[in-house]
Structure 1
Amino acid sequence: MGCWEKLKSSGWAFPTAVLSLYGFFANCRIAEPFLTPYLIGPYKNISEELVTNYLFPIWTYSYLAFLFPVFLLTDFLRYKPLIVLQGFFLVSNYVLLCFAPGLIAMVFLEIHYAVVTATEVAYFSYIYSVIPLENYQRATGYLRSAMLFGYTFGAGLGQVLVSLAGLDYFHINAITLGVTSVAFLISFWLPMPQRSMFFKGRKTTAVGRQSQQEGPGRTDRPDGTAADEEDASSGKQKMERNDNAAWCSRKNVFSAGHLLWQSFRESYSSRHLIYWSLWWALATAGYTQILNYIQLMWDHIEPSATSSVYNGGVEAACSLVGATAAFSVGYMKVNWSVWGELALGLFSAVGAGAVFLIVLTGNIWACYAGYALFKSCYMLLITITTFQIAANLSMECYALTFGINTFVALSLQTIITLIIVDGATLGLDIETQFIIYGIYHVVISVLFLIRGTYTACTKQRTSKPPDNIKMEQNTVEVIYDEAF
């Protein structure tokens, strides 16, 4: 009990620990690596073409529709309620998977999952509103690692239950429903941030204290204490009603809009932050697209109906490597302002090569290895990018920046989905899709290799004084020594 109280009294350890615990259980989705075999198998009996070109694009479009409203609600409600909402929709997501039959139910499933992913902005921005700036880097590494370790444990456990225990996919989904319910309960432990970033906070608590302090001091009535308490209570209720009305007033909305615009200008006034944000948007769009369709690629190379499925083991191994990379970021001593953009380009090039390995090989194990390499590179870079952006912004700006970056990434992903995936347009096969994804990541790597090389050379050159300045400095030192 003493350790628990000590943890709660810590300025950053308690919210980081609780949010990491939530992230672990929320991402411990034992059944997720087996979603495609579950949908196209006898349990849901949906064709592979329908899953690829109709069902999965619904998630992308719904995610884009929800993202901006959810971002505004995230700040308006001060982060925690949106994390609780995410936990609730995680639970309802697996309720639908387990007990709702038919294609229409799976459409609602994709919409529910879009709410889960849209509220991730609350998960990543919450922690920066309750901890000091000096703990951003370490907390970011812990949170990202908790998510990845949760997914690693869940995917590994799922593989064990499928391959060794012989459980069917329905029971795997039922177990996942129980695990996500634990995450939903943990979300209520999170401390509530004291204020939102853009909407003015309520002052009812202060008003209540003031009324209580003024009440006992009045003695102009015979039953002064009781009457004053009644007046204080009625005054408090009146102030609460007025404050609730002001909460959504036109003045408050205009004020929030002005702050949003000012924060937007501050967030993207620095070229350094613009380049980090650009990589975030471009890389996240490509990563999410590959993550969505990788199971279909595996099933194309080695159909799940006629062979053993090792999706869970592969996802566990990939996430373990990614989690280790993300955790190590918290202890790296690198001048990211000099070498950061070059690192983005180099590791993006490795990721692009991994995508081509996935699509060009006919061996399922080589495909698995390419996916592991690609995911590890992304997890390392996105963790570095997250704390770099957060560390260079004021508290009023980072949530907005994260939201805008995610919105841009999702807009790019929606365009990609609409053009090459959706059955209403090109509706390309899975192999052609992955070739395009590989070319897309090559473009990202070339852009940042050029930019990173230029930045590193410029920084290195400006950090060294010219030779004539060095000679002048040496001359001044000699004159000073001779004089004294």
Structure 2
Amino acid sequence: MACSQILPSRSWIYPTTILCLFGFFSTLRPSEPFLIPYLSGPYKNLTSAEITNEILPVWTYSYLVLLLPVFVLTDFVRYKPVIVLQGVSYVITWLLLLFGQGVQAMQAVEFFYGMVTATEVAYFSYIYSMVSPEHYQRVSGYCRAITLVAYTAASVLAQVLVSLAKLSYFYLNVITLASVSAAFLSSLFLPMPRKSMFFHAKASKDIQKPACTNVASDEARGGEAPCCNEEKPAPGTAAASANWDDGPLGGPKPENVALRVFVQWFQDLKECYSSKHLFYWSLWWAFSTAGFNQVLNYVQILWDYKAPSQNSSVYNGAVEAIATFGGAVAAFAVGYVKVNWDLLGELALAVFSVVNAGSLFLMHYTTNIWACYAGYLTFKSSYMLLITIAVFQIAVNLSVERYALVFGINTFIALVIQTLLTVIVVDPRGLNLPVSIQFLVYGSYFAVIAGIFLIRSLYIIYSAKCQKEVQSSPLSQNEQEPHPEGPTNVYS
């Protein structure tokens, strides 16, 4: 029975409302823009070296270790238990942050925050199991918009309380604890889904195979890439089992339900990444997200280095609010920009990666905190603009199930790259660079990304120009028979 038949026409309203409440309260964390001043101040008395080298890397390592197991567990237990686990992890994180002392307690904070970020997949996946497909776009917009509103509101509230009310950083964390506790309580009221995308999927007879007509597919560009929008029979059902005769190498089908799901994931990922267009956008996503997360993780330390919080006013909250709002406006504007992304998309990736690199070089070389803030505003806004384009370019050819897989793998690859950056640049076992030099490395990292995509974009544009000239030549127009090698694909 189709989802729309199982659920009443307006049954999406209650779970969406509860999930949005959870998203709002879990993201309303006014203490975050002032985390480093709090840790280095009189409440925790931690040194910059301890925070940079011993505490913050724990988040990266724990996130990497937890991501894949949590991704599998999320679908297997049908989302709600993992959302509740995320709420519990939030509460533990801020209890430790308020009452824990010493490096080890703060390392525990980072571990539980790694659990928080690893379990975010449940928040963005839950709604797809509760509503019919015609509501996907609307509820996805609600769930993402509410977190953006909450983050901006928290940053503004934090700046007002610190600058005008002279509230201490400790009480910002008390407010955050109250907010995440409300998020945990709201998660308990979420309905339990009857199905999930993979392990508890709907039967294959209910899955309609859509026509592969997406204009953004590789085939529309002249290639022979597969249509990743094509849905497979659900591997977690008996009906699906009956239709799945071969494993990935053409052997007998696996009998175990979990193994069948893993084999299907392997097949889907192999098919999707065979599209060069999707592969290169995913490549940019993984590398840029790794650098972006690394910058976000250490930027407050850089700000504290440029203008120590004990000796000057701190405007971290205002900067985060403006950066988030600017990024949101840039991302919103993407929908109104008419660009041939197939031809010029990778050039855009190259140009804005240059902007990111320049912003990070500015943050490294300047001694003025306001210039450092400006560099961060530019960096975050341009990244949010590009990640919006990348998500659309990747998702446009994928079903919900395949998008979840590609998103998960891209995120995991980004975490692997970020872990390597942490080990090499930050960790005492690596180069153990001071924070200012770290941002020189991150700027160089984005410059390399820009160089790679600039070369590839020039190749794509040149190939397209050559193809157009060949097609417009008199010899080509008089040719009656197609070329034996088939049409040229500018994405090859």
Normalising by the residue count of structure 1, what TM-score does the alignment of the two structures yield? 0.79
Counterpart in the other structure of 2:174: 174
Deviation at 1:349, TM superposition (A): 1.1
1:418 aligns with 2:423: yes
Partner of 1:61: 61
The corresponding residue for 1:389 is 394
- By how many angstroms is 1:85 displaced? 2.0
Match status 1:367 vs 2:367: no
Match of 2:350 among 331, 345, 354: 345
In 2, distance between residues paired with 1:328 and 1:80? 34
The answer to whether the 8 A contact 2:64-2:416 is kept is yes
**Structure 1: where are the runs of 5+ without partners?**
1-6, 204-248, 474-484
Residues 145 and 324, structure 1, Cα contact 8 Å, conserved in 2: no
SS in 2 for 1:110: helix
Q: 1:360 to 1:15 in 2, by over 3 A?
A: farther
Find the counterpart in structure 1 of residue 307 from structure 2: 302
Deviation per CA, 1:118-168, whole angstroms, max 9, x where unpaired? 112333344555667777677666544433332111011001101101111
CA contact (8 A) 2:50 2:103 kept: no
Please give the per-residue CA displacement for 1:295-342, whole angstroms capped at 9, x wherever unaligned.
Answer: 110011111111111111111111111122233344544443333222
| Matched residue, 2:75 | 75
Distance verdict in 2 for CA 1:119–1:49, change over 3 Å:
same
Question: Equivalences for 1:2-81 in 2 at 5 Å?
Answer: 9-10=9-10, 19-81=19-81
8 Å CA contact 2:360–2:443 kept in 1: the answer is yes
Over aligned residue pairs, what C-alpha RMSD do you find?
2.9
- Distance, in Å, in 2 between the alignment partners of 1:36 and 1:110 is 13
Amino acid at match of 1:42: P
Change beyond 3 A, Cα 1:124–1:450? farther
* The one of 265, 268, 274 aligned to 1:269: 274
Instruction: Indicate conservation of the 8 Å contact 2:11/2:131, yes or no.
Output: yes
Tell me if the contact between 2:54 and 2:103 (Cα under 8 Å) persists in the aligned partners.
Answer: no
For residue 435 of structure 2, what is the amino acid of its counterpart? I
Change (3 A) 1:270 1:190: farther
Task: Name the SS of the counterpart of 2:256 in structure 1.
Answer: helix
Among 396, 404, 411, which residue is 2:409 paired with? Answer: 404
Aligned 8 A contact 1:144 1:383 in 2: no
Checking the alignment, whether the CA contact within 8 Å between 1:351 and 1:378 is kept in structure 2 is yes
Q: Deviations over 1:173-213 (max 9, x none)?
A: 0011112223333434555554233324599xxxxxxxxxx
Matched residue type, 2:456:
R
In 1: Cα distance, 2:38 partner to 2:380 partner: 23
* Aligned partner of 1:286 among 280, 287, 291: 291
**Alpha-carbon distance in structure 2 between the residues aligned to 1:114 and 1:438:** 25
- 1:72-96 CA distances to partner (integer Å, 9 max, x unpaired)? 1122123333233222211221111
Deviation of 1:388 (Å): 2.5
Q: TM-score with structure 2 length normalisation?
A: 0.78
Instruction: Call closer, same or farther: CA 1:31–1:423 in 2, change over 3 Å.
Output: same
User: Structure 1 residues 160-169 or 96-105, which shifts more?
Assistant: 96-105
Match of 1:157 in 2: 157
For 2:456, which of 434, 451, 461 is the aligned residue? 451
CA apart distance, 1:10: 4.8
Cα separation, 2, equivalents of 1:192 and 1:344: 40
In structure 1, what is the Cα distance between the partners aligned to 2:460 and 2:391?
20
- Compare CA radii of gyration and give the structure with the larger one: 1
Does residue 440 of structure 2 align to residue 466 of structure 1? no
- Looking at structure 1, the residues matched to 316 and 51 of structure 2 have their Cα atoms a distance apart, in angstroms, of 18
How has the CA–CA distance of structure 1 residues 279 and 31 changed in structure 2, closer, same or farther, with 3 Å as cutoff? same
1:438 aligns with 2:443: yes
Aligned partner letter, 1:40:
S
Please give the alpha-carbon distance, in whole angstroms, between the structure 1 residues aligned to 2:359 and 2:452.
18
Instruction: Name the structure 1 match of 2:486.
Output: none
Read off the aligned partner of 1:401 and give its amino acid letter: V
Report the CA distance between 1:383 and its aligned residue: 1.9
Q: How far apart are the structure 2 equivalents of 1:449 and 1:61? A: 32
| 1:40–1:46 Cα contact (<8 Å) kept | yes
5+ long unaligned stretches in structure 2:
1-6, 204-253, 480-492
Once the two structures are TM-superposed, the CA of residue 256 in structure 1 deviates from its matched residue by 1.6
Aligned ranges for residues 96-135 of structure 1 at < 5 Å? Answer: 96-127=96-127
In the other structure, the counterpart of 2:183 is: 183
- Distance (whole Å) between structure 2 residues aligned to residue 142 and residue 327 of structure 1: 14
Matched-pair identity in %:
54
Counterpart AA for 1:101: Q
Q: Does the C-alpha gap of structure 1 residues 130 and 460 become closer, same or farther in structure 2, counting only changes over 3 Å?
A: farther
